[in-house]
Structure 1
């Protein structure tokens, strides 16, 4: 980037009265680690497409799952290293749109939807587009503090990585059972359209902060996590299918929990207003 005189080291500052500012020479050393993890997630998602083209759908799904794990690490690494940058946020959003939007859409299309070229391709496109739209909506709301779902500790719609995992549910079942009915193109097309809708919907969904177990059962949670890891190693596809269906069951639970919280907040606000009104009237009578 250069200024009007062609100087690559300076650009016009958008704020009035500040003239020109010097551009940063590059990323700081601390920012390398989280951005490298994000780049690895992007490469993993793209490699999933390569495996799907070769017909190895197990590896293609594993590549996208690896991208999801890396996506969960990069943000935490950036916060831990205090290396949160605008560049990293943009890179993360672009990587997510490919790894969890484009890659799953193409993988599922090459697996089952190409037998129904027109409708199958439209449903794959709908999934990819809705994933990108969700990410764009998320980025547009980053600086907006008055978000009812966020303030209450909920998310809006299904997150992109979980949406990719949900889209693969018929594929999990097909790999685990070998039953070709799970690869029926019409059913898979409808499933992809449903998950696309869930990603861009305004449904309040549970965030990690809402999944904190009570202290008295946390030891049991540790045991369950250990058993889940063992199940993933022995029966990975059935376990992934069970986890996916478990998350689907949490979607209406999250909506109900948010509605109850919203109703209680409304009642609390109304009670506070009535109390304030009563106090004001008493003062006026005096």
Structure 2
């Protein structure tokens, strides 16, 4: 008499289930706290805080150093997190809060102390427009991060806006002048502050340089150009860096006009067919 084999559930192939699970249930972003990228973020935050303290003491050139150092450190923390695979939800929130202090509140307070204080209500209103523009820009960046074209920023990024405002102060201070010795400079600072604050909340596209890969091989001439660029910056750091950020601060409007002339979409937000309410984001 032949005994039939025991019937039981046949386990599915492990490799198929594992792939399906990863495809349909992506692993959530880690909630731990990593030391290395957050050290860069804290250092950037310190740069903004240091700049505020220096401005309160009337040392505006030192305040400019603090903001520009914060901008460099802010550009590194995300890259370090990606290179070391230490991205986390905590790091994202920490980075946004640091940016609000270093590139939102700090530049507004510095330019107010340097020039806008003498304008009375107009002065603090301009400073508040800049500060609120930075807050709105950061909030919009965090909510639209999944639908924005990675090659462009939606509006002027806050570090570049801070460099526009504080760079002006750095150049004038480096020349041995001030808003007191140049009374018309008060209105120049007023214009720069409003321009930077309002441009942060526009939909104008600014190139993000995120598609530039540092792992690719480049022609030798590129290295020569970088060396020449460093040499030019060292001739007059304040003037050259300020000039670079002025050009960048205007470049978005150039891209906007060029796309309009070519009939291309000017919005950097991807059109979603699943969310009809997103139509207002593309105007």
CA displacement at 1:233 relative to structure 2 = 2.9
Equivalent in 72, 75, 78 of residue 78 of structure 2: 75
Q: Is the 8 A contact 1:175 1:237 kept in 2?
A: no
Q: Which residue of 2 aligns with 1:204?
A: 205
Q: Which residue of 1 aligns with 2:102?
A: 99
Query: How far apart are the structure 2 equivalents of 1:120 and 1:264?
Result: 37
CA displacement at 1:232 relative to structure 2 = 3.0
SS at match of 1:155: strand
When normalised by structure 2's length, the TM-score is 0.73
Q: Is the 8 A contact 1:154 1:210 kept in 2?
A: no
Matched, 1:58 2:58: no
CA displacement at 1:167 relative to structure 2 = 1.5
Counterpart mapping for 1:137-216 below 5 A: 137-142=140-145, 144-145=146-147, 147=148, 150=149, 153-179=151-177, 180-181=181-182, 184-209=185-210
Query: How far apart are the structure 2 equivalents of 1:248 and 1:76?
Result: 23
Query: How far apart are the structure 1 equivalents of 2:219 and 2:170?
Result: 29
Q: Is the 8 A contact 2:161 2:249 kept in 1?
A: no
Matched, 1:240 2:238: no
When normalised by structure 1's length, the TM-score is 0.72
Residue 264 and residue 59 in structure 1: after superposition, are their counterparts in 2 closer, same or farther (change >3 A)?
closer
Count of residues paired in the alignment: 232
Q: Is the 8 A contact 1:176 1:237 kept in 2?
A: yes
Equivalent in 118, 133, 138 of residue 135 of structure 1: 138
CA displacement at 1:251 relative to structure 2 = 2.1
Query: How far apart are the structure 2 equivalents of 1:221 and 1:204?
Result: 26
CA displacement at 1:218 relative to structure 2 = 5.0
Counterpart mapping for 1:2-81 below 5 A: 27=32, 31-81=34-84
Residue 234 and residue 183 in structure 1: after superposition, are their counterparts in 2 closer, same or farther (change >3 A)?
farther
Q: Is the 8 A contact 1:112 1:183 kept in 2?
A: no
Structure with greater helix share of residues: 1
Q: Which residue of 2 aligns with 1:3?
A: none
- Structure 2: gaps of 5 or more residues: 1-29, 267-283
Q: Which sits farther off after the overlay, 104-113 or 87-96?
A: 104-113
Matched, 1:113 2:101: no
Residue 264 and residue 141 in structure 1: after superposition, are their counterparts in 2 closer, same or farther (change >3 A)?
closer
Query: How far apart are the structure 2 equivalents of 1:70 and 1:182?
Result: 34
> What's the Cα RMSD here?
2.8
